[in-house]
Chain A
Amino acid sequence: DVQLLESGGGLVQPGGSLRLSCTASGFTFSSFGMSWVRQAPGKGLEWVSTVSSDGGATYYADSVKGRFTVSRDSSKSTLYLQMNSLRAEDTALYYCAKRSVAGLYYFDYWGQGTLVTVSS
């Protein structure tokens, strides 16, 4: 079974940094692009970032561009999100999501999320 397990969330002060991880199992991690999608408390879904299967291409939402960096380590089947210069509006549940088998960027599997709270 496909499993995605996020970790690394927590409470951080504005301007601080955090690194999220997503450990994958049950599929060939190196064959699939992976993404981060977040959900602020009581709000809808917001795509954050995507990295291609080989790590050669990355994409970011304008709201995080220049502050967040997505990466992957296929030897560890792990996706990362380095978050710097955090703001209160970055407070959200962060999900990692697997690209579809069809090669298009809709998401056929999601993790359960890790909560990031930015507050002083």
Chain B
Amino acid sequence: EIVMTQSPATLSVSPGERATLSCRASQSIRSKLAWYQQKPGQAPRLLIYGASTGATDIPPRFSGSGSGTEFTLTISSLQSEDFAVYYCQQYNNWPLTFGGGTKVEIK
């Protein structure tokens, strides 16, 4: 099983600042990585797939990068609606696995 490790667990950021979230895979997953955003009481929402491709209607301030085992989600200028939990997910191998999540909170 591929283990996905996200860091940090919590990120405190001021509105307008840049946020950088990391996701590491225990073995290469090529570019088979997705990022999701989850707000309290809501289902996850797809942000990024293929490590760097934005999903439909996702604002350009969200960007993804990386391949192999190291991946990054960057939010260029945090808006109030971006404070949420973010998860990465690998889909290169079965079983599908998620990272433990990074909570982005208001500083």
Listed in ascending order, the chain A residues whose CB lies under 8 Å from chain B are: 35, 44-47, 50, 59-62, 95, 100, 102, 104-108, 110-113
Q: Is the CB of B99 within 8 A of A44?
A: yes
B49 and A44 within 8 A (CB): no
> Are A106's CB and B34's CB within 8 A?
yes
A111 touches B43 (CB 8 A): yes
Closest 9 CB pairs of A and B: A106-B34, A110-B43, A47-B96, A45-B98, A105-B91, A44-B101, A106-B49, A44-B100, A106-B91
B95 touches A45 (CB 8 A): no
Q: Which of B65-107 contact A (CB under 8 A)?
A: 87, 89, 91, 94-101
- Is B3 on the interface with A (CB-CB < 8 A)? no
Q: Evaluate contact between B43 and A105: CB separation under 8 angstroms.
A: no
The SS class assigned to the B binding surface is loop
Distance in angstroms between the alpha carbons of A50 and B1 in the assembled complex: 16
Assembled-state Cα–Cα distance A35/B98 (Å): 14
With most chain B CB atoms within 10 A of its CB, the pick from A59, A95, A105 is A105
- B-side contacts of A110, CB under 8 Å: 43-45
Partner among A35, A44, A59 whose Cβ is within 8 Å of the Cβ of B87: A44
In the complex, are the beta carbons of B32 and A95 less than 8 A apart?
no
A-B contacts, 14 of them at CB < 8 A, read A44-B87, A45-B38, A45-B87, A45-B98, A47-B97, A47-B98, A61-B95, A62-B1, A104-B32, A104-B49, A106-B49, A107-B44, A107-B46, A107-B89
| Additional pairs, 5, CB under 8 Å, beyond known A45-B101, A106-B34 | A47-B89, A62-B1, A110-B44, A112-B42, A112-B43
Bound CA span A23–B45, Å: 19
What size tier do the contact residues of chain B reach?
Answer: 20 to 34
Partner pick for A95 among B1, B43, B89, B94, CB 8 A cutoff: B43
Report B-chain residues with C-beta under 8 Å of the C-beta of A59: 94-95
User: What's the Cα separation between A111 and B34 when bound, in Å?
Assistant: 18
State in angstroms the CA–CA spacing of A25 and B55 once bound together.
Answer: 20
Which residue of B46, B55, B98 is within 8 Å of A46 (Cβ)? Answer: B98
Q: Shortest beta-carbon distance, B84 to chain A, in Å?
A: 13
